[in-house]
Structure 1
Amino acid sequence: MEKVSHGYTGAGPHLSFGHTAMRSSYNAMSVFDRRSRRVSRRRRRVPDLASRPAVVPNKPYKFKRQHHWGRMILRTLIVTAIVGGIVGGFILVRALTAGDRVRIQVLGAEGRPLEGALVTTESGHDATTVEGGLARIAFEVPGTLTVSAQGYRSATYTVEQLPLQGALGLQMEPLVLQGRVTDSNGIGVVGARVTINDMSTITQEFGSFEIVEAMPGTVMVEKAAWESATAEWSGDRRRLDVKMDAFMVRGLRVEPKTAGDDALFAQILEFADESTVNALVFDTKIELGNVVHEIDGYDEPAAIGSLQPVYDVRRRLAQAKEHGLYTITRIVTWQDPYASLHRNQYAMHNSVDGDTWVTWNGLGWMDPTDRGSWEYPISLGVAACKMGFDEIQFDYVRFPSDGDINIAVYDHPEFLTPEGRVAIVGEFLTTARERINAEGCAVSADIFAIILSVRDEQGIGQKVEELSATVDAISPMVYPSHYGPGWLNFDNPNDHPAEVVGEALESGMIRMEGGALLRPWIQAFSWTTAQVREAIATAEDLNMGWLLWNQLSYYEMEWLPPDESR
């Protein structure tokens, strides 16, 4: 029997079985070929079908697969994000480029983008403009858009086509309140505050005013020392004319000692109740520099020793208000012995020895050209206003005229020209008015009456044209007893009340360019009853109020015109 050899003896093809052949095949592979090694191992695990009988397995053979769950979740999230981004971007692009949504810009006054305007289409869609006056709304052309906004006339726009680029611009017409405020004589009132629905402005030349973007409603007109006035405005384009009347002051001067005496002050109140008097003029700081009542919230009078109370200001103001009286207080401005002594750096000095410059009566003066001298009288005015006075009146608001002017030394001599002196006085009063008006009080100034009748400033810095623009009222001291012989060709001007007072007031009226009231001081001394009444009647015939000056606050009922309201 022929034996089967396990060795290879012939040269032809040969089929070999067993482990020896497989081992030889394995050893022939490169051990560095990892892929080949893995294949080789798999082959070694596969049964040798040629050397074993065929066996049909009960179940098919399956390779086990390893599942990597983290990778699968990550892949799912990435796919979801990509799909969501594509869908969202598509929706956004469609929204922004939709053919039926139009970008609109509403413009208001002076081409300013108007925020808060309501845009409505004829189909009922609406949108409100935001910053930049922009809005988007569903709209197809041709069509109409209606726009409404506070302070503007509602308007409808017919749109035939849309711009190729940018927004569709719609210009609106603002509601404009235009008008003029006049007095009883038809003369424009300058400096009045006009208010409507929390919008306000100040009347300008000829009393004209304008408020843009106004809403229809009640127009309120106010000015210190004037009666308030109202008018209704419907929003139409016609000019609105408002008439207001000046508060006709008929006042008595109450000197400090009278104010401090209960019995004497009671007589003043009784006198006012039974006459046409409707105002009282008190003092806060007098010619000697004394501050004659307590001052709340301002310590300077006490610091320089000028605080010397004579009357109870709170009590007197309360009593005056109970009787319906308008209250004014007088403040002597730059003549001040106390301030010139204790605040000497702001005082005038003399060129002889450098000491404080004084009047013939030995009263020191503060330097008007030094703005450091302004704070004291203005702060007194603010404090007095806060305590309840209705009006602050500045006296001696001028350069000095009583004393040796030739030796007076000022900190700023460049202002010692007519124009410079007028500018200083005007700037002081403007500053005072701004601060005191803000507290709710009117501001007035006493001036020399001669200023009404001459064209220059008489070396004291007072000129009607400029002063009338800086205060609410001017009170010239029209005392014929102070005029010298020859004035108006009268040997004794004091004997001619109507002529002297009338000439001064009529000359001043035509020069009051700035809107202030002209309200004269009338002397209540050195005259007969008939002469006092004649002077008062002259002022009233010119529709002016008046103030009576008597050094001791002594007045007679016969001096006054009858009270026609009784």
Structure 2
Amino acid sequence: MSDASADRGVSAKLRAVLRAVPRSVLVGAATVLVLLVGFVLLRSLSTADVRVSGAGGDGPVTREAVQQIRVHTADSASAVVLLDGRPVPTREQDGAIGLRPGELSDGEHELSVQVPRSPSWLGTSSTEHRFTVDGEPPVLRVADSLRPQRPGEPVTVEGTAQGAERVEVAGNAVPTAPDGSFSSVVQNPDREVRVTAVDAAGNRAEQMMTVHVRHPGMRAVHMTGLAWTSDTLREPVLEMARQGRIDTVELDIKDESGEVPYDSRVPLANRIGAVKNYYDAKQSIDQLHSMGVRVVGRLVAFKDPILGESSWRAGHPERVVQTSDGQPWSTGGYGSFAFTNFADPVVRQYNIDIAAEAVELGFDDILYDYVRRPDGDIGEMRLPGLQTTPEASVAGFLRETQPEVRSRGALLGASVFGIAVDRPTEIAQDIRQMSQFVDYIAPMVYPSHWAPGEFDVDNPDAQPFDIVQRSLAVFADIVRGTDVQIIPWLQDFSLGAEYGPEEVRAQIDAAASNDMDSFLLWAANCRYTGEALTPQG
């Protein structure tokens, strides 16, 4: 028999069997089949739309990321949310169900969401979502500091980042070796270099590396812009340099009158008539450099009557420190408009622009003076725009300045009152805060400026060694661990007592007893006691 004949035979037998089944049985079977298909379709159509977002995928998630898991369903009120088989607290958030799982352990977890179907006899719809928690950040190891030889010199950042998927140095991604080690050269580093390591889950480890440049040291005298134009005053200073008694000269680049005594091109300085062009900065710097003498630019920051008065009369009173009734602050004998507002962005930028220009001209350091508020009751002052404490604002100004100075190859210092060492709020000079953003602090520890009994010195004028030694010891202690240097201002003038070589020498010795071999001498008349200074090779 052929295959076709066999198939016809089977079909005939099947038809015969079906004709033998009663019609009612066939109808019943068909009904059951229809109901079964309908149930399946109804159950399928009644499945609640449940979706989970915010975590999971192929990689691990942080513990914080678990807080971002969202359950999306139209019937959130009836949803039952289980985490690892137990109910988990939830909250409604952005039209979805947010989790409040508390602290989860590292490892795999299962989220289950059950939502009743409608009608209820259809049971529930459930969704499972698995994810892995990784709450441990990478292990990042780098040194605390970087120590280039000169400002602006490239630094090499080296370290290891175990468990990191990505490493960034100063905002740039760097490759890592299989053992997690990395190395990256940072050109023109700022005061700090940020190193970041991120793992696959998104956990971050960060460390700030401080860039410390050791000041080469200085034995300096100060000269005003006008004094530098005088042969009578300039030549003795140059002779002291030739003899090796000094190795640094500080020249004013903006003084306490607000004048800019060199040939500045800063637009605002020229608009307000501050530029006096007493001396040629580039020529003077070149002359001193040719002698092996470093040049520091003294920049009086916030005592600036020229900027203050011009701003006030031009309708910008916010640039001036004011009294409580809105008048220019003049208490303390400074005169009207004397103190500009250190919290004002225009005032800050004006000083930064002068600092940046001076470094471009060749100044080796920028040393701020009057980087403070005026003395007096802070409760009676108005400082428009001040959003923080005066001390933090002054320190923030130094922070803004340092990259502009450092990136151009110079160092930054701040002259401070001696009393600031233990009375930071009196003039808004918090030494610890300021030391974060300068390369050196220059305290004015003139014996004539201390009251009797300070640091247990009965008569500071008559005891120059004692008052300088003891006050500088406190300054050294307050900056301990910061790498910032203390380079003191010492007194070479008579006020209350006659000062000559012996008194000047006593102060230098007092500084040296605190391991401070650098100093700056101040004399308002710019006449210095060379005999007090020992010639160096």
Query: TM exceeds 0.5?
Result: yes
What corresponds to 1:292 in structure 2? 261
Distance 2:535 2:289 in 1: 23
The answer (yes or no) to whether the contact 2:158–2:183 under 8 Å persists in 1 is no
The answer (yes or no) to whether the contact 1:394–1:446 under 8 Å persists in 2 is yes
1:48-82: CA deviation from partner (whole Å, max 9, x where unpaired)? xxxxxxxxxxxxxxxxxxxxxxxxxxxxxxxxxxx
Distance 2:308 2:258 in 1: 10
> 2:247 is aligned with what amino acid?
N
> 2:368 is aligned with what amino acid?
F
> 2:510 is aligned with what amino acid?
T
What corresponds to 1:371 in structure 2? 345
2:507 is aligned with 1:535: yes
C-alpha RMSD of matched pairs (Å): 3.5
What corresponds to 1:256 in structure 2? 225
Q: Name the CA shift for 1:373/1:196 in 2 (closer, same or farther; >3 Å).
A: closer
SS of 1:342 mapped into structure 2: helix
What corresponds to 1:361 in structure 2? 334
The answer (yes or no) to whether the contact 2:152–2:187 under 8 Å persists in 1 is no
What corresponds to 1:465 in structure 2? 432
2:374 is aligned with 1:400: yes
Distance 2:425 2:144 in 1: 36
2:289 is aligned with 1:317: no
Which structure's residues are more often strand, by fraction?
2
What corresponds to 2:523 in structure 1? 550
Distance 1:472 1:244 in 2: 7
> 1:306 is aligned with what amino acid?
A
1:220-278: CA deviation from partner (whole Å, max 9, x where unpaired)? 99999xxxxxxxxxxxxxxxxxx996412111111222211245323211111103311
Q: Map of 1:8-407 to 2, 5 A cutoff?
A: 195-196=155-156, 212-214=181-183, 246-296=215-265, 298-344=266-312, 345=316, 346-352=319-325, 354-359=326-331, 360-364=333-337, 365-401=339-375, 407=380
How much does 1:305 deviate?
1.2
Distance 1:317 1:268 in 2: 14
Distance 1:369 1:223 in 2: 23
How much does 1:306 deviate?
1.2
SS of 2:276 mapped into structure 1: coil
> 2:443 is aligned with what amino acid?
P
How much does 1:543 deviate?
2.8
Q: Name the CA shift for 1:561/1:196 in 2 (closer, same or farther; >3 Å).
A: same
Distance 2:190 2:243 in 1: 28
The answer (yes or no) to whether the contact 2:465–2:510 under 8 Å persists in 1 is yes
How much does 1:443 deviate?
0.9
Distance 1:428 1:221 in 2: 20
> 1:398 is aligned with what amino acid?
R
SS of 1:308 mapped into structure 2: strand
Distance 1:181 1:425 in 2: 24
The answer (yes or no) to whether the contact 2:363–2:410 under 8 Å persists in 1 is yes
> 1:556 is aligned with what amino acid?
T
How much does 1:282 deviate?
0.4
SS of 1:318 mapped into structure 2: helix
Distance 2:330 2:373 in 1: 12
> 1:560 is aligned with what amino acid?
L
How much does 1:529 deviate?
1.3
2:382 is aligned with 1:422: no
Distance 1:394 1:244 in 2: 18
SS of 1:317 mapped into structure 2: helix
2:382 is aligned with 1:409: yes
Q: Name the CA shift for 1:472/1:524 in 2 (closer, same or farther; >3 Å).
A: same
How much does 1:339 deviate?
1.0
Distance 2:360 2:520 in 1: 23
SS of 2:408 mapped into structure 1: coil
> 2:462 is aligned with what amino acid?
D
Distance 1:331 1:255 in 2: 11
How much does 1:369 deviate?
2.3
Distance 1:529 1:372 in 2: 44
2:397 is aligned with 1:437: no
SS of 2:288 mapped into structure 1: helix
Distance 1:480 1:222 in 2: 39
SS of 1:392 mapped into structure 2: strand
Whose Rg is larger?
1
How much does 1:284 deviate?
0.8
The answer (yes or no) to whether the contact 1:195–1:201 under 8 Å persists in 2 is no
How much does 1:515 deviate?
2.5
SS of 2:261 mapped into structure 1: coil
SS of 1:525 mapped into structure 2: coil
What corresponds to 2:475 in structure 1? 508
Q: Name the CA shift for 1:194/1:514 in 2 (closer, same or farther; >3 Å).
A: farther
What corresponds to 2:461 in structure 1? 494
Distance 2:169 2:504 in 1: 41
1:451-483: CA deviation from partner (whole Å, max 9, x where unpaired)? 22x1x4133221121111111111000111011
The answer (yes or no) to whether the contact 1:177–1:212 under 8 Å persists in 2 is no
Distance 2:276 2:482 in 1: 37
**5+ long unaligned stretches in structure 2:** 1-139, 160-167, 171-179, 192-211
The answer (yes or no) to whether the contact 2:416–2:441 under 8 Å persists in 1 is yes
How much does 1:525 deviate?
1.1
How much does 1:413 deviate?
5.7
Q: Name the CA shift for 1:561/1:330 in 2 (closer, same or farther; >3 Å).
A: same
The answer (yes or no) to whether the contact 1:397–1:425 under 8 Å persists in 2 is yes
How much does 1:343 deviate?
1.9
Q: Name the CA shift for 1:244/1:304 in 2 (closer, same or farther; >3 Å).
A: closer
The answer (yes or no) to whether the contact 1:537–1:561 under 8 Å persists in 2 is no
Distance 1:439 1:476 in 2: 25
SS of 1:538 mapped into structure 2: helix
Distance 1:392 1:414 in 2: 27
Q: Name the CA shift for 1:496/1:441 in 2 (closer, same or farther; >3 Å).
A: same
Q: Name the CA shift for 1:535/1:332 in 2 (closer, same or farther; >3 Å).
A: same
Query: Which deviates the most, 528-537 or 267-276?
Result: 267-276
Q: Name the CA shift for 1:559/1:515 in 2 (closer, same or farther; >3 Å).
A: same
Q: What is the total number of aligned residue pairs between the two structures?
A: 348
